[in-house]
Structure 1
Amino acid sequence: MSSRDVVLARVRRALADVPRGEGPSDPPVPRDYHRVHGSRTTAQSVELLAENLAEYRAIVHRSDAEGLPGLIHRLLAERGARTVVVPPGLDASWLDPAWRDPSSESGSDVTLVEDHASSTPYELDAVDSVLTGCAVAIAETGTLVLDAGPDQGRRRITLVPDHHICVVRVPDQVVGSVPEALPRLAPERPLTWISGPSATSDIELDRVEGVHGPRTLEVILLAGSREAG
């Protein structure tokens, strides 16, 4: 008996009690698991998110709308970033006015790089930082989910540059658990789930960061902000 025969025989045995003509979506799937775990206020969920983000070695900052452009400018300056890629739908109020208007008398020490479909990984690798929003943030797991929305851009721009600044609108975009996050996400969109900076460990458990994504993740919890639309 060949390996093919063995596999097909196992498939037939597994399907022996399935009625003929039944499709994959026909049997009802119970969804009786807990969507909410415990009892937390909105403020407590935000604090849990911040705690778990830090546990995964993300750097957490807090700001209001007025202070956001200055904070972003400072974070880029501290890294010596001269170029930053931004999605086309990023809220313009997040950016320093001098960046939006290179002719400004105050001048600009940062060059904005637009997210173009033609941009190659090689070109993006030369960019110092990337600035995005997010789709949802999950408190219990310290996870940011990006769905390639207008303020997040294509997945490529958040995987290649070495430094990612992600702005989370608080409390609108914060949920407690993964089951609470899923209804907010469209499964056909390119979802990127981020729990801290990119990292892996070798056989001796030595942690190495920046292997398949940004080495540094900075998260800004933007208070008092409502989602557009």
Structure 2
Amino acid sequence: MNAAQGPPATNAELKRAWKKEEKAALGELGFRGGRGDQSTITLGEAGDWTGHLTVPKRSGPKDTLVVFLDPIGFSLIHEPAEAMVRELSGLGEDAPEYVTVSGDRTKVLPAELNDELGKVRVSDAEGIEHAVSLVTTAVRDGILPWMEERAGTDALLAHLGEPAPSPGHEARRLERLAVVQHRLGHDDEAAEALDAYKEKYCDTGVVSVDEQRRRFAAALGELLRNVR
């Protein structure tokens, strides 16, 4: 922090100073700064995975000088699979990108560290240093290893092999399972996943959902017929 500029006098200035220090620390771990409180990192042997990290900061009440740290979020996107799902679904490049693997800080980080992160209250340079140190520890020792361990084909297939807890998530799981199996040349397994998808999730009664899912099923089905 540049002492010549004086200490932050508003929550907006406090946030900017915090983000600047955090960006530098996370950059040493390979993360690139993105919009707002988001950062990304390229992972995988082929560089085809993107790790997403969000360290959300929330200003305190009006006329106070304090910024709180909200729960950290993190996830992985397998870019080739997600791009293929969007293409087969007839969606454009600007369509929202779904997460391939979601992270849960309560399962990845030690309880003591989660508790410390939940107590972060930043109001000065010393608070910024403490917050950045805690976040860096969480990312370096927990979140980044979690990402690296899962950014690979075997881990992806294992993840996609587990049923999802809700119909919407299960439909997305089967889409990605079918696409990944097809990309690997496992077209019988891809067809099996696609059949389950068509049987259970292409007739929900919600027109916009059904149209998109049927487009996906038809397009992938055509690809599978052409290679089998």
Instruction: Tell me which interval the TM-score lies in, with the shorter structure as reference length.
Output: under 0.3
| TM-score, L = length of structure 1 | 0.20
The structure with higher relative contact order (CA 8 Å, sep 6+) is: 1
Which structure dedicates a bigger proportion of its chain to strand? 1
Which structure dedicates a bigger proportion of its chain to helix? 2
| TM-score, L = length of structure 2 | 0.20
